[in-house]
Amino acid sequence: MVPKNIPSSVESKSIHEVDSHVGSRVRLRRRILGISQTKLGDALGLTFQQVQKYENGSNRISASRLFEISQILSVDPDFFFQGLPALELSRSDPDKPIDPDDRGITQSDPEIYRSGETLAFVRAYYLIQDKVVRSRVFNLVKSLGQEDKAD
């Protein structure tokens, strides 16, 4: 029996939605870069099993560790929170509709970020060395997506 002064979050080992999301973003970025769990673990001084636990959300990633991961994976720490569904408790006005464009690169179907096609597209995009050309490709794809949205 759990004493009454222990928070209910300690009672069960359920995975928090934020931990799961952050972990899935770590996995996404690692896979985009073609880095194995072992290689990431080595860079962090961890086993690949610990990286697995981070990625599936069963172990929380501390702020300092998340910053370290962001450095290794060459992204800003906010990358790991992009597309995070708004939690009811964190919203100042729960009746206000959420604009997907205000939350970064999101879609209603999170599986789109795990597909082979998406990973191949992102890898090909980052192979474009010229930053101006890469920016133009980005703007083209973004405008095409906006046209599809308008239809």
Tens-digit pLDDT profile for residues 63-75: 999 999 999 999 9
Report H helices in 45-130. 48-56, 63-72, 116-127
Q: What is the pLDDT of residue 120?
A: 83
What is the pLDDT confidence band of residue 110, given thresholds at 50, 70 and 90?
Answer: low
Q: Evaluate whether 112 touches 118 at the Cβ level (below 8 Å).
A: yes
Tens digit of each residue's pLDDT (9 = 90 or more) over 8-24:
444 456 888 999 999 99
- Find the mean pLDDT for residues 83-112: 55
Domains by residue range for the chain, with CATH = 15-85 (1.10.260.40), 107-151 (no CATH)
Amino acid 96: pLDDT: 53
Whether the predicted pLDDT of 145 surpasses 90:
no
Q: What is the pLDDT of residue 20?
A: 92
Q: Tell whether the model's pLDDT for residue 124 goes beyond 80.
A: yes
For 39-62, b/e burial (b = at least 16 CB within 10 A) is: ebbeeeebeeebbebbbebebebe
Taking the C-alpha atoms of residue 38 and residue 36, their distance in angstroms, rounded to an integer, is: 5
Mean pLDDT to the nearest integer, 23-50: 95
Rg over alpha carbons for the chain, rounded to the nearest Å, is: 18
Band (pLDDT 50/70/90 cuts) for residue 123 is confident
Rounded mean pLDDT, 91-117: 56
